[in-house]
Amino acid sequence: MACGYVLALVILLFQYPSTVISLPSGATLGPSKELSYARDYFYVGGQYADDGRGTGEHIFKSQMYVERLAPVNFQGPLKPHPIIFIHGNYQTGTNFLIKPDGNPGWASFFISQGYIVYIVDQPFRGRSPWKPDNGILVTGSAELIQQRFTAPEDYNLWPQARHHTQWPGSGKMGDSIFDAFYASNVQSLGNASYQQSSTQAAGVALLDRLHDQGVILLAHSQGGIMPWLIADKRPQQIQAIIALEPSGPPFQDAIFSTNPARAYGLADAPLTYDPPVTNPALELVKNVSFTQAGGNFTCFLQASSTPPRRLANLERVPVLLITAEASYHAPYDWCTVEYLLQAGVQTEHLYLPDAGIKGNGHVMFLEKNSDDIAQVVVDWIEGRS
């Protein structure tokens, strides 16, 4: 169970024998630190399609890998609502297993609390196969990961970056913990709308397989878009959404660019609004709510000149959106929260320092105090039961 990072390093060393990467502290070939669990895996979604070679033969595409982890020897009844973990860009479901420093991750934590967890690899990522006609793959350089995730305090690309203290190690190339983390990074599909619609379809297939069981969707970053889309199709099956710094803000990127994005406000793929939206550029009338000095962040909300359109299928789903102190999301996650509230979604915003949890960056669930954050999530979930 604990060998994911070790295997990634072995493969890297096999391909590049001159490369020397040390195992991170705690990541050994000895006994696993992970909690014991029962493990199953399966695939959901996808369909047969022509293989594109003119042979009339077929392949299977757009399926999603799912791993089910269930507590064993748990004292007491299991929690009634399983948690589905959805990773972000350049990542896979391994994010939630062993952390790069060798310590147990969030899967173990939530299993220890009596939750059954499902961990996915988004379509075209990790163990969910990519086919050439799916589109171009992109990857994040080690320098980008250092700047945005693991060592932002050394680059100060946004004001809050200087507060980052919780990554275990230097967060840079040559540090064994960083090397273990970066070895686990993979390519991501460049077409955001196609990635979102494919994950939505596979996510719906997963919920259909679970039948009427109410689930909790816990998602991070680029993966944070997926709960909006999945819940939009199956709102009656969603118990809650935990959004760890979901991609935002609405309609436009921030901090690193000001490119248009997420035409439907929270997503590039269509969402259900009331009144309906078929042409978001025309029908989602926007108004500038706030512009940051320097121009690297503009908050767009729906204009108040007409009643805001509501996200009809998300209105009954409670949302907890979590923002870390030192992340590049700190300047703008509040705008995503305001957009959700304006559209009728019952949303709470937890800025971690308000809970006494400081120093975290964007990949908070891999950092030294990750269990403290996980406990806050558990308290919120169970406080609503």
Q: Which are the catalytic amino acids? A: 221
Q: Which amino acid is at 117?
A: V
CB 296 within 8 A of CB 254: yes
CA distance 341 to 300: 13
Report residue 12 CA to chain centroid gap.
25
CA distance 211 to 253: 36
- Strand-pairing partners, residue 348, are 320
* Backbone torsion region of residue 255, taken as left when φ is above 0, otherwise alpha when ψ lies between -120 and 50, otherwise beta: left
What are the E-state strand segments in the chain?
Answer: 37-44, 47-50, 58-61, 64-71, 83-86, 117-121, 137-138, 188-189, 215-220, 238-244, 286-291, 298-302, 319-323, 347-351
